[in-house]
Structure 1
Amino acid sequence: MKLSKRSAFISLVIVLTIVIDQISKVLVRANIIGQTETRPSERISLIGDAFIMMNVENKGAFLGMGSELNKPLRIILLLILPLLVLGYVLRYILRDKNLDNWSLFAFSSIIGGGISNVFDRIVYSSVTDFLFIDLGGVFKTGIFNMADVFVTTGMIILVFASFIKKKKQLS
């Protein structure tokens, strides 16, 4: 079976997203002392107090939400449901031939980031988060990872692509 350029592009973006995220997490787990119940994670300043690396294992979803749920509910909400949604989105982008390249890239980034975090939940029972940004109270993030960066970037691209598409339709 021959892989079309379009399918190859989608596959490449998904695989690269997963590889970049997993390599970054392997490096963090190997080189940054993680938090325990008795001590906080090692903190490595990249740019003063504005950009910090640490090693935090997140048993929940975004900002730890869902970490206190019982195990069956966590499996449904953090493993099964995301896999179903990611599968649906993949099916959608493979079938919809009208999507522009930016939208394909965005959806593929979201899928890759989602798969990578689900992989962590299956293999490690948590997701390794390690980046934190604090721009003096004006802008402060939770602790996140590269998969989160890809998912967020994909969402931002989709918003812009949607505005551009609407603007073209109105012209």
Structure 2
Amino acid sequence: MRSRLLLWAALAAFAIDQISKYLVVHVMRVADQPGGIDVVPPLLVFKYGENRGINFGLFQGNSEAARWILIGISVAICVGVLVWLGRAAHSGLMLFCGGLLIGGALANVVDRVLYGFVLDFLNMSCCGINNPFVFNLADVFIFAGAIGLVLFDGKKAS
């Protein structure tokens, strides 16, 4: 029963990310808007980005080998998290966080398989600082899930 929470969290994170990318990239056509689409400027702007590396554009690689290595690493991390969470009784919060991480990672894997890169569209700036980086909701889910797994580790299920 408890594993359903992990599954539903992963499916929700995956679906929310993929639907948001479809709407912003393909329906709103953010790539055709040179300055992006102001949502709550400058705090939130939709700007098109293609990430061939990992977060914040690190380890950019245009080769097919780099693409498939990143896909392999992402899938291996998902399997590792599943195995780790499956070895002992963990709290529902841990399972939820694991689901967010797995769903976000697999959403970015789908992008790499379909497009050869991860679609990014979120840009946030504040307080006179112009942030040049873009990200997506999968990145948010991966980050939140990883932080949650660290913060809530050790809290066993009753």
Alignment pair present for 1:147 and 2:143? no
Paired positions, count: 154
Which residue, 74, 85, 99 being the options, matches 1:93? 85
| Length-normalised TM-score, structure 1 | 0.79
- Coordinate RMSD, CA, aligned: 2.2
Which residue is equivalent to 1:114?
Answer: 105
Which residue is equivalent to 1:11?
Answer: 7
The alpha carbon displacement at 1:60 in A equals 1.8
Structure 1 range deviating more: 56-65 or 15-24: 56-65
The alpha carbon displacement at 1:43 in A equals 1.0
Q: Does the 8 Å CA contact 1:34/1:42 hold for their aligned counterparts? A: no
Alignment pair present for 1:23 and 2:16? no
Letter in 2 for 1:120: D
State how 1:35-114 maps to structure 2 within 5 Å: 41-68=34-61, 70-76=63-69, 78-97=70-89, 99-114=90-105
Gaps of 5+ in 1: 166-171
The alpha carbon displacement at 1:142 in A equals 2.3
Gaps of 5+ in 2: none
- Larger radius of gyration between Structure 1 and Structure 2: 1
Identity %: 31
1:34 alignment partner, SS class: helix
Letter in 1 for 2:50: E
Letter in 2 for 1:13: A
Question: Equivalents in 2 of 1:141, 1:90: separation in Å?
Answer: 34
| Length-normalised TM-score, structure 2 | 0.85
Question: Equivalents in 2 of 1:148, 1:121: separation in Å?
Answer: 14
Question: Equivalents in 2 of 1:79, 1:135: separation in Å?
Answer: 33
Alignment pair present for 1:32 and 2:29? yes
Which residue is equivalent to 2:120?
Answer: 129
Question: Equivalents in 2 of 1:56, 1:73: separation in Å?
Answer: 18
2:133 alignment partner, SS class: coil
State the 4+ residue runs in structure 1 displaced beyond 3 angstroms: 137-141
Letter in 1 for 2:2: R
Letter in 1 for 2:51: N
